[in-house]
Amino acid sequence: MTKNKLHALIWCVVTGLAASVQSCVPVNPERDTLTAAVAISLDGSERTLAGNLASLGMLEAGQGLRIDARGDNARRVLLLREDDEREGVGIMVDGALANQPFDTVIGSAGRHFVFVDYDGNTGLFAQTATVSASLVDELPSRSVEQVVRVVFENNFLTDPGLFDPVDGVDADRAFLESIESVVRDEIVSSLRTIFADTPIRIISENEGTDEPLSILTYSPQRVIADQNDVNDAALPPADPSRPECQVRVIFGEVLPTGTEIDPGNRIPDDQAVVYVGSFQGRGASCLSSAVTSVRSIVLTLSQTGAHEIGHLVGLYHVEQIDLMNRSATLAFQRELDFARGQIQIDRLENGEIRSEIFPAIVQDPAVYFESIFSAE
Amino acid sequence: MTTRRCRLICLLCLLACVASGCVEIVPGVGDSAIETSFAFTNFSMAQYAQLSIRRTGDDAFVTTPLLPPGATHRERFLDALGVGCPGQIDLRVALFERINDEVPIGLDDGEAVGEVPSAGGEFLNLPACGSVVVETLTIVNWDAPVGEGVVKIGQGTPLERVLRQLPDFDNRDGVWTFEGVDDALGDVMPEPRASAAQINGRVITADGTGLSDVGVLLRTRFRVRLNDEDPSNDPDAGFSAPIALTATDANGAFSFDRPAGGYRVEVFSDALLFRPAIIDVESPIDELVIIAEPLP
Ligand SMILES: [Zn+2]
């Protein structure tokens, strides 16, 4: 594949009822179908893969499978099942980190595929891995649910939190302090609503559980992104007329920094953080939509938290307007869903980080949760 | 080796791709592999609207519910048309007048409309994913005199630039306009009204105590034209007269049942100060919290 083809199509997002927020991401046109997948047999023999996709053929519900994908640049492995809705498209049904075998149980019958996700700075010609797959008798146990405890650090709204360091006055700080308890309760309530019909159970700081739990922390910090943090290089600068507002900050991340995603939710006690201070406005020229009302504060912080929880259980970014869209500005606007979307992967190219859509790889949280969690 | 970090990066005030020139526009008719959606919005002040849509070349149109002012219908192309992102589309927009137009919409039981359109237009072979892929193709019915239709498509996206090159969109606002009812829509009837989606809220003090008997009213969003900075013909866009009115209950809670869309919620009381008293929202809304404190 040539780089020209990589840039053959640009993809834009638009949302909102009036003013539009957009991002531009190139689509990889040669990866828009599963037909390019290399077939591998289920006898444990290794097959070299140049590219991302291997076909496992038809598998039946209840079959146990061990998959081992290794490569210097391989970082994650996804199991896909051919989509019922569209030919040539695979739905993510499980995953794991690369370079270690993992076991999975086939949830529904169908043609299955392995997708190898390479490290972002891997050139296309270095995207090679050895993949093996075999049937196993002993089925791995899967948990019924994932518990997530939501923790708020002291003064998460004011230190600096959402306090405007330019125009903020004591009365503003006092107001933010006064609503801290309401905002805390509303965020927990909102997260419970977002995950109500999923195997993800949200608990507050005061609630106990015997199960392993992930932790989502709301930190008051404002965190500036460094040069190598993933950014959408296709995006134009924010607003050339207001250079003072073009500060790239980080809204949230899975910890430790660089973890990104827990594919297949293999780590039941991982952690993520939302940096509340990164949402603050700074003076009259750098107002933030996030802080215009309690409504927008709760909407923004809860939806950003839901996005990070999505990563904790293995969800990727999708390009569709969704809770798993990377653009945090979407979280300001309306209540978003966890819905079907085509995954977006960031990679470094000539020193620039570019996001790429894989049209053949679909993430549907409902299908994924049903597959990676046990029903009873 | 560069460390990659998956962090949610601030993309404050993103500008449209149009402005950046980062989009390659290649006219075409082919479908795209990307799965996208369309959103039909009715920003008329008084007329009801419905959209019929099909992939160019297909036989049957799919029609949205009848949208009252302010409402939006969002749907994936895959669900509506069986294709992820159609290369070209055909559209029909039909507008219907209210029968009981002296009553605020929210108090009008049944919200009856005329049996035939007051205006209706058809547009065939509209460029879509074959030219530019936008995640949500917005089709917005603007406010217009009865008997006329003004429809803005793809506002703020690269598609808008493509459409402005077509004769039908070669006007100040880059809109598709029609008068009367196109023959193709001669037998169009109003669809069932869009189902309600709640706007739930609470008015509380900072310590979480609910405040009862606070007045709450609802307005719908409208648009007449793009902002033209000409004050002699304002407003270009705004919110309607109140369409519904309620008061908070003993727990400070209130609720409106209106189809999903763009609304303004306002709270009022002689004894309270609100932070803020006016909130513009896109519904449905699970919980809209408004903080109040006694007037000094
Ligand atoms: Zn993310």
Q: DSSP string of A117-172?
A: EE-TT--GGG-EEEEEEEEESSPPP--S-EEEEEEE-TTTTTTTTT--TTT--HHH
Distance CA B39, CA B151 (A): 13
- Average of per-residue pLDDT across A234-262: 73
Residue A35: the pLDDT is 77
Top mean-pLDDT range of A10-24, A290-304, B92-106: B92-106
Residue B29: the pLDDT is 63
CA A283 to chain centre: 31
CB B267 within 8 A of CB B290: yes
Q: Which of residues 92-131 of B touch A (CB under 8 A)?
A: none
Q: What token pair was written down for B236?
A: 């270009």
Q: What does the pLDDT look like over A348-376, one tens digit per residue?
A: 666 666 778 888 999 999 999 999 999 87
Distance CA B257, CA A121 (A): 50
Residue B288: the pLDDT is 93
Q: What token pair was written down for B5?
A: 């970090």
- Average of per-residue pLDDT across B12-40: 56
> Is the CB of A254 inside 8 Å of chain B's CB atoms?
yes
Q: Are residues B238 and B113 in the same domain?
A: no
Final residue of a domain: which of B134, B161, B185?
B185
Confidence of residue A328 (pLDDT cuts 50, 70, 90): low
Closest by Cβ to B11, choosing from A23, A254, A295: A23
Q: What does the pLDDT look like over A183-195, one tens digit per residue?
A: 999 999 999 999 9
Distance CA B30, CA A345 (A): 25
Interhelix angle A294-312/A170-194, rounded to 10 degrees, is 50
Final residue of a domain: which of B140, B157, B185?
B185
Identify which has the larger pLDDT, A324 or A5. A324
- Average of per-residue pLDDT across B112-119: 97
Residue A20: the pLDDT is 33
Which amino acid, one-letter code, is at A225?
A
Identify which has the larger pLDDT, A291 or A341. A341
Q: What token pair was written down for A7?
A: 């840039």
The DSSP line for B173-230 is T--EEEESB-GGGTT--PPPBPPPEEEEEEEE-TTS-B--S-EEEEEEEEESSS----
Q: Are residues B125 and B223 in the same domain?
A: no
Identify which has the larger pLDDT, B71 or B13. B71
Residue A358: the pLDDT is 87
The answer to the question of residue B14 being in a domain is: no
The answer to the question of residue B234 being in a domain is: yes
Q: Across the interface, do B290 and A294 touch by the CB < 8 Å criterion?
A: yes
Number of domains in chain B: 2
Nearest chain A residue to B158, by CA: A12
pLDDT score of B49 more than 70: yes
The answer to the question of residue B285 being in a domain is: yes
Who surrounds ion ligand 1 at CB < 5 A?
Answer: B 8
Top mean-pLDDT range of A108-122, B19-33, B176-190: B176-190
SS3 A285: helix
Identify which has the larger pLDDT, B19 or B242. B242
- Average of per-residue pLDDT across A70-74: 93
Closest by Cβ to A12, choosing from B9, B72, B133: B133
The answer to the question of residue B46 being in a domain is: yes
Nearest alpha carbon to residue A331 among A363, A365, A291: A291
Q: Across the interface, do A257 and B1 touch by the CB < 8 Å criterion?
A: no
Residue A357: the pLDDT is 85
Nearest chain A residue to B83, by CA: A86
Q: What's the topology of domain A3-136? A: Jelly Rolls (2.60.120)
> Is the CB of B141 inside 8 Å of chain A's CB atoms?
no
Q: What's the topology of domain A146-334? A: Collagenase (Catalytic Domain) (3.40.390)
Q: Which residues of B touch A304 (CB under 8 A)?
A: 8
Q: Which residues of A touch B253 (CB under 8 A)?
A: none
Q: Are residues B237 and B265 in the same domain?
A: yes
What values do phi and psi take at A330, rounded to 5?
Answer: -65, -30
Q: Across the interface, do B286 and A190 touch by the CB < 8 Å criterion?
A: yes
Q: Across the interface, do B9 and A229 touch by the CB < 8 Å criterion?
A: yes
Identify which has the larger pLDDT, A173 or A283. A173
- Average of per-residue pLDDT across A310-336: 85
Residue A6: the pLDDT is 24
Q: Are residues B169 and B259 in the same domain?
A: no
Q: Where in chain A is the domain with CATH 2.60.120?
A: 3-136
Residue A190: the pLDDT is 96
Nearest alpha carbon to residue A84 among B19, B72, B78: B78
Residue A351: the pLDDT is 60
Closest by Cβ to A327, choosing from B5, B11, B32: B11
Q: Across the interface, do A20 and B279 touch by the CB < 8 Å criterion?
A: no
Region of poorest pLDDT, from A253-267, B43-57, B237-251: A253-267
Q: Which of residues 75-94 of B touch A (CB under 8 A)?
A: 76, 78, 84
Tell me whether residue A58 is exposed, middle or buried, using C-beta atoms within 10 angstroms of its C-beta: 0 to 12, 13 to 18, 19 or more: exposed
pLDDT score of A12 more than 50: no
Confidence of residue B91 (pLDDT cuts 50, 70, 90): very high
Q: B188 CA to chain A: closest CA distance, Å?
A: 27
Q: What does the pLDDT look like over B55-73, one tens digit per residue?
A: 999 999 999 999 999 999 9
What's the CATH code of the domain at B257? Answer: 2.60.40.1120
pTM: 0.89
Closest by Cβ to B34, choosing from A11, A229, A340: A11
Residue B228: the pLDDT is 86
> Is the CB of A3 inside 8 Å of chain B's CB atoms?
no
pLDDT > 90 in chain A, percent: 60
Q: Are residues B174 and B142 in the same domain?
A: yes
Q: Across the interface, do A9 and B24 touch by the CB < 8 Å criterion?
A: yes
Best of A6, A9, A13, A17 to mutate (most B CBs within 10 Å, chain B): A17
pLDDT score of A56 more than 60: yes
Q: Which residues of B touch A305 (CB under 8 A)?
A: none
Q: Going edge to edge, which strands form the sheet with A24-26?
A: A24-26, A10-12, B133-134
CB B282 within 8 A of CB A21: no
Q: Are residues B159 and B32 in the same domain?
A: yes
Closest by Cβ to B10, choosing from A185, A254, A278: A278
Q: Are residues B270 and B248 in the same domain?
A: yes
Region of poorest pLDDT, from A34-38, A320-324, B169-173: A34-38
Q: Where in chain A is the domain with CATH 3.40.390?
A: 146-334
pLDDT > 70 in chain B, percent: 90
Q: Across the interface, do B8 and A9 touch by the CB < 8 Å criterion?
A: no
The answer to the question of residue B208 being in a domain is: yes
Residue B23: the pLDDT is 35
Q: Are residues B148 and B252 in the same domain?
A: no
The answer to the question of residue B38 being in a domain is: yes
Tell me the pLDDT of chain A averaged across its residues: 84
pLDDT score of A119 more than 50: yes
Q: In which residue are the tokens 């994908």 written?
A: A69
Which residues span the domain enclosing B274? 197-294
Residue A51: the pLDDT is 83
CB A41 within 8 A of CB A55: no
Q: What does the pLDDT look like over B116-170, one tens digit per residue?
A: 999 999 999 999 999 998 989 999 999 999 999 999 999 999 999 999 999 999 9
Measure A252 CA to ligand 1 centroid, in angstroms. Answer: 8
Measure B219 CA to ligand 1 centroid, in angstroms. Answer: 35
Q: Which residues of A touch B78 (CB under 8 A)?
A: 85-86
Which amino acid, one-letter code, is at A167?
D
The answer to the question of residue B15 being in a domain is: no
Nearest chain A residue to B7, by CA: A253
Buried/exposed B127-152: b ≥16 CB within 10 Å, e otherwise: bbbbbbbbbbbbbbbbbbeeebbbbb
Q: Are residues B178 and B255 in the same domain?
A: no
- Average of per-residue pLDDT across A234-245: 53
Final residue of a domain: which of B156, B185, B214?
B185
Q: What does the pLDDT look like over A256-303, one tens digit per residue?
A: 988 889 999 999 999 999 999 998 888 887 877 777 789 999 999 999
> Is the CB of B34 inside 8 Å of chain A's CB atoms?
yes
Residue A227: the pLDDT is 62
Q: Are residues B162 and B30 in the same domain?
A: yes
